[in-house]
């Protein structure tokens, strides 16, 4: 299968390791992975801020760049949801990573090994727009050596929400405080998720508090062979 990696702005700029992990994982599972260099922002940030007109050119570019691929895989539930909603011509073949692994490749055990205590934060876009359900957890449960612990209040927003965290900083920080408390209650070594945006928000608080808990994108755990 000819697969394109849609890295997203956030990962490309701040968390390139997530994209590298996706490539490692998909190649291990037999996919031919390409990275179209012409890709840019999908326009989500512009639309969310009210700049619909400015986003239209980005939508057209996305459709053109990814037109010839069998599937487009992204380590971002947030951007995947936006593309499906806004770019009809290619939206149907754009998948969040865990959807692609289970629904398209039909695999749950991806050959990963990660002997650490881990808790999973399901992001709002994963839950409410993509409806990924328990796909991430099904994949994590098959990772060899993992100690996967349930996160209380898992379905509650972490408070990031892109520009929400800037425009409503006090509310965002209150929500983040609750999320971090639940993460610490698990005594996990690692908090993972399908969106590095939320992990940046959570990870920042964990780092400032010198908790010793690190954050990792789920792709990095699924690609690991420790």
So what's the pLDDT on residue 75? 96
Summarize pLDDT for 30-67 with one digit per residue, the tens: 999 999 999 999 998 898 888 888 899 999 999 999 99
pLDDT for residue 132: 94
Question: What is the pLDDT tens value at each position of the chain, 226 positions in all?
Answer: 889 999 999 899 999 999 999 999 999 999 999 999 999 999 988 988 888 888 999 999 999 999 999 999 999 999 999 999 999 999 899 999 999 999 999 999 999 999 999 999 999 988 998 999 999 999 999 999 999 999 999 999 998 887 788 788 899 899 999 999 999 999 999 999 999 999 999 999 999 999 999 999 999 999 999 8
User: Which residues lie below 8 Å from residue 34, measured CB to CB, with a gap of 6+?
Assistant: 2, 3, 4, 5, 69
Which of 171, 35, 177, 29 shows the shortest CA–CA distance to 109?
A: 29
* pLDDT for the residue numbered 49: 83
DSSP 160: -
Q: Which domains does the chain have, with CATH numbers?
A: 2-104 (3.40.50), 117-223 (3.40.50)
Give all strands of the β-sheet with 71-74 in edge-to-edge order: 32-34, 2-5, 71-74, 94-96
Say how far apart CA 93 and CA 149 lie, in whole Å: 32
Q: Token pair of 45, please? A: 């940030």
Give first-to-last CA distance, the chain, whole Å. Answer: 27
Nearest to 76 by CA among 94, 89, 50, 51: 94
Q: Strand 190-193 relative to strand 147-149: parallel, antiparallel, unpaired? A: unpaired
**CA quadruple 131, 134, 136, 139: dihedral positive or negative?**
negative
Quick check: 19 and 218 in contact, CB under 8 A? no
DSSP string, 77-133: HHHHHHHHHH-HHHHTTEEEHHHIIIIIS--S----B--SEEEE---HIIIIIS--T
Nearest Cα to 178, choosing from 196, 200, 151?
Answer: 151
Indicate the pTM of the whole model. Answer: 0.93
Query: 222: closest CA among 113, 123, 86, 120?
Result: 113
Predicted pLDDT at 162 = 75
Closest CA to 125 of 163, 94, 168, 82: 82
């Amino acid at each position: 299968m000819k697969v394109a990696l849609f890295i997203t702005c956030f990962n490309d700029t701040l968390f390139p390791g997530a994209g590298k992990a996706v490539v490692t994982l998909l190649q291990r599972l037999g996919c031919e992975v390409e990275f179209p260099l012409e890709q840019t922002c999908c326009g989500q940030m512009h639309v969310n801020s009210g700049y619909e007109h400015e986003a239209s050119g980005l939508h057209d570019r996305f459709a053109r760049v990814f037109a010839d691929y069998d599937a487009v895989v992204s380590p971002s539930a947030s951007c995947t949801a936006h593309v499906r909603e806004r770019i009809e011509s290619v939206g149907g073949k754009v998948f969040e990573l865990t959807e692609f692994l289970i629904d398209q490749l039909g695999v749950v055990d991806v050959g990963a090994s990660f002997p650490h205590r881990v808790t999973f934060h399901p992001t709002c876009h994963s839950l409410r727009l993509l409806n990924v359900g328990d796909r991430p957890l099904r994949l994590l449960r098959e990772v060899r050596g993992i100690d996967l612990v349930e996160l209380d209040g898992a379905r509650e927003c972490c408070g990031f929400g892109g520009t929400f965290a800037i425009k409503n900083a006090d509310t965002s920080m209150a929500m983040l405080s609750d999320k971090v408390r639940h993460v610490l209650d698990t005594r996990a070594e690692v908090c993972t998720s399908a969106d590095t945006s939320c992990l940046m928000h959570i990870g920042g608080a964990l780092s400032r508090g010198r908790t010793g808990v690190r954050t990792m994108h789920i792709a990095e755990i699924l690609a690991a062979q420790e």
